[in-house]
Chain A
Amino acid sequence: DAGVTQSPTHLIKTRGQQVTLRCSPKSGHDTVSWYQQALGQGPQFIFQYYEEEERQRGNFPDRFSGHQFPNYSSELNVNALLLGDSALYLCASSLGNSNQPQHFGDGTRLSIL
């Protein structure tokens, strides 16, 4: 039973560039949430996708956007990268409209130079 998988594991970009991160949910899950974890901090909720639509959004600028595909996989896009976007980006999946907890992937470490 495959868990949540994310790619790439590491990424280095420069300021002003754009980046796309990818996530495949755990088998049987249909909901994907994205979190940003800065160094020494807890994860911060970015947004959640369900039925290919953004269902809920945290306090992040619209430089952060996403997409969910019919197979439930998801992408996180960040435009006009800033130094402060350097973080571990975590994807979590769950079964929508259930009380089951979220399961996390190992994350993508994004470094902005």
Chain B
Amino acid sequence: GEDVEQSLFLSVREGDSSVINCTYTDSSSTYLYWYKQEPGAGLQLLTYIFSNMDMKQDQRLTVLLNKKDKHLSLRIADTQTGDSAIYFCAYNSGYSTLTFGKGTMLLVSP
């Protein structure tokens, strides 16, 4: 299987919460990341979590990490149309090189 797996698509209504899930295989990674990519753009770092943490909150974003199950999730509260984008889960390995999933496309409808 893939090193990082994500569901490909998520559709929510504006104002709802969005939860994007990710599973990974490398248990030695020290950090896990969420990046956002808008059409025609590069990757924007949203948030990251150290592997010895269970949760990290940053304004509307909440990251949950279950290290035992190698499961990472990103919750976006009060989702807005501007949150529509592709979201990538990634972990670091080696000299902070990143291994990415294929991304989850989030579509927010008004």
Classify chain B: how many residues form its interface, as a range.
20 to 34
Q: Which residue of A lies closest to B41 (CB)?
A: A106
Q: Which residue of A lies closest to B89 (CB)?
A: A42
A20 on the interface (CB 8 Å rule)?
no
Q: Which residue of B lies closest to A55 (CB)?
A: B95
Please tell me if the beta carbons of B97 and A48 are within 8 angstroms of each other in the complex. Answer: yes
Please tell me if the beta carbons of B30 and A104 are within 8 angstroms of each other in the complex. Answer: no
Q: How far is the CB of A77 from chain B (nearest CB, A)?
A: 19
Please tell me if the beta carbons of B95 and A48 are within 8 angstroms of each other in the complex. Answer: yes
Q: How far is the CA of A58 from the CA of B41 in the complex (A)?
A: 23
Q: From A50, A101, A106, give the contact of B31 (CB < 8 A).
A: A101
- CB within 8 Å of A: which of B19-64? 30-31, 33, 35, 41-45, 48
Contacts of B97 in A (CB 8 A): 33, 45, 48, 56, 58
Please tell me if the beta carbons of A43 and B94 are within 8 angstroms of each other in the complex. Answer: no
Chain B interface mostly: strand
A residues whose Cβ falls under 8 Å from a Cβ of B: 4, 6, 31, 33, 35, 40-45, 48, 50, 55-56, 58, 90, 92, 94, 96, 99, 101-107
Please tell me if the beta carbons of A56 and B43 are within 8 angstroms of each other in the complex. Answer: no
Besides A42-B88, A104-B42, 17 other A-B contacts (C-beta < 8 A)? A6-B42, A35-B98, A41-B102, A41-B103, A42-B102, A43-B88, A43-B98, A48-B95, A48-B97, A50-B95, A56-B95, A56-B97, A101-B96, A102-B96, A104-B35, A106-B41, A107-B41
Contacts of B41 in A (CB 8 A): 106-107
